[in-house]
């Protein structure tokens, strides 16, 4: 296995894609990346499960749209920090059915000057939180999407969350139609206690119709899950993970219980223990992914399976099932792998080959790729 790396800041990229504020169709390339950008990189709407159930439009999907630029709003808002001002904006939006809230985040929300333990996107609908350029940052503050519908979170750097529920982004309590796109989320891996932080993106407790796309998720013991426990009411469902770059993490990429999940065109790089962990009857379409240095290759003592790109490991009494379609493996234990289900997904999409998926994720996942301009 190649040596693990510990990147702690966004990488410099040679190109950017401009996205108008109202989420109109994306403009073209401004530079010359190694691989021509897939048209989906800066799309104004999600592919996958978040495109179903009426679609996911965020704050722009309502009849009346209220837009705020955080750096312009908070100094006169009466609140002591950008985070406190944003928290109150979200709280005030509760109960406003048919209205949309769009906040352009061009400030750092820091745990040091924020009065809450997490940023609640709670009991509301039609919300977009959009990072502006490279200035939208959550330092030590996680985003908690709870009992919310039609929510978009894009182009934010979120890191080192060790308070509240300790998730970078948590989606829970029957939330639906959530699109998490082009974010960079990280904690620490080597040198950190495995329980100091929790997941980078955890989706649980009845949430559904969710797409997680074009994110750079790195440096963490616990990466992602789709349920908080094995029980039926703890699980989420109908989740698409596509074009993400998972790098230098230990496991749970993701941990999937009782869910229908599509893992499409992701790049897995330096995954120390194990990646896609399907348990408790989960059904997973694993398609067009590139696995590099993924898995320890050791035999898990729970179910006797080799820890690698896909499997059923530790903790749950029942296995999940996976359909393996057109994946590539480099320095990753995979000779034992075969499909255990014919599961497919009910929406249309375009799948890249795994090599192209790796190139696109390296170039275009994370922040600094789309520029959302107020």
pTM of the predicted model, to two decimals? 0.91
* DSSP code of residue 256: E
| Number of neighbouring beta carbons within 10 Å of residue 94 | 14
Active site residue 252: yes
Closest CA to 210 of 267, 274, 260: 260
Q: Which of 5, 11, 13, 252 is catalytic?
A: 252
Residue 369 burial by CB count (10 A; 0-12/13-18/19+): exposed, middle or buried?
A: buried
The residues near 152 (Cβ < 8 Å, ≥ 6 apart) are: 56, 57, 58, 59, 127, 128, 129, 130, 178, 179, 181
Tens-digit pLDDT profile for the chain (374 aa)?
Answer: 333 333 333 322 223 344 434 333 222 223 334 467 777 899 999 999 999 999 999 999 999 999 999 999 999 999 999 999 999 999 999 999 999 999 999 999 999 999 999 999 999 999 999 999 999 999 999 999 999 999 999 999 999 999 999 999 999 999 999 999 999 999 999 999 999 999 999 999 999 999 999 999 999 999 999 999 999 989 999 999 999 999 999 999 999 999 999 999 999 999 999 999 999 999 999 999 999 999 999 999 999 999 999 999 998 999 999 999 999 999 999 999 999 999 999 999 999 999 999 999 999 999 999 989 99
């Amino acid at each position: 296995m190649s040596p693990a790396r510990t990147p702690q800041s966004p990488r410099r990229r040679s190109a950017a894609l401009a996205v108008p504020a109202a989420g109109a169709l994306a403009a073209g390339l401004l530079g010359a990346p190694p691989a021509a950008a897939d048209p989906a990189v800066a799309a104004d709407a999600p592919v996958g499960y978040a495109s179903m159930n009426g679609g996911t439009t965020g704050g722009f999907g309502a009849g009346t749209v209220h837009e705020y630029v955080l750096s312009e709003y908070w100094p006169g808002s009466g609140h002591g920090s950008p985070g406190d001002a944003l928290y109150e904006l979200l709280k005030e939006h509760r109960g406003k059915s048919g209205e949309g809230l769009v906040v352009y985040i061009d400030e750092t929300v820091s745990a040091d000057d924020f009065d809450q333990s997490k940023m609640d996107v709670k009991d509301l609908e039609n919300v977009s939180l959009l990072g502006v350029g490279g200035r939208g940052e959550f330092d030590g503050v996680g985003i908690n999407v709870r009992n919310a519908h039609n929510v978009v979170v894009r182009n934010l750097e979120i890191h080192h969350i060790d308070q509240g529920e300790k998730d970078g982004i948590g989606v829970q309590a029957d939330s639906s139609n959530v699109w998490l796109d082009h974010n960079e989320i990280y904690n620490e891996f080597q040198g950190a206690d495995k329980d100091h932080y929790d997941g980078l993106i955890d989706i649980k407790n009845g949430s559904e119709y969710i797409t997680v796309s074009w994110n750079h998720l790195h440096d963490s013991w616990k990466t992602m899950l789709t349920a908080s426990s094995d029980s039926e009411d703890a699980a989420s469902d109908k989740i698409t993970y596509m074009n993400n770059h998972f790098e230098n993490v230990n496991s749970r990429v993701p941990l999937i219980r009782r869910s229908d999940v599509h893992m499409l065109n992701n790049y897995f790089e330096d995954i120390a223990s194990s990646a896609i962990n399907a348990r408790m009857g989960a059904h997973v379409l694993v398609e067009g992914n590139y696995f590099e240095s993924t898995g320890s290759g050791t035999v898990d003592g729970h179910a006797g399976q080799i820890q690698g790109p896909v499997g059923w490991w530790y903790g749950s009494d029942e296995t999940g099932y996976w359909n393996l379609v057109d994946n590539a493996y480099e320095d990753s234990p995979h000779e034992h792998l075969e499909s255990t289900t014919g599961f497919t997904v009910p929406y249309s999409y375009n799948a890249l080959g795994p090599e192209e998926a790796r190139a696109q994720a390296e170039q275009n996942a994370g922040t600094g790729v789309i520029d959302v301009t107020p």
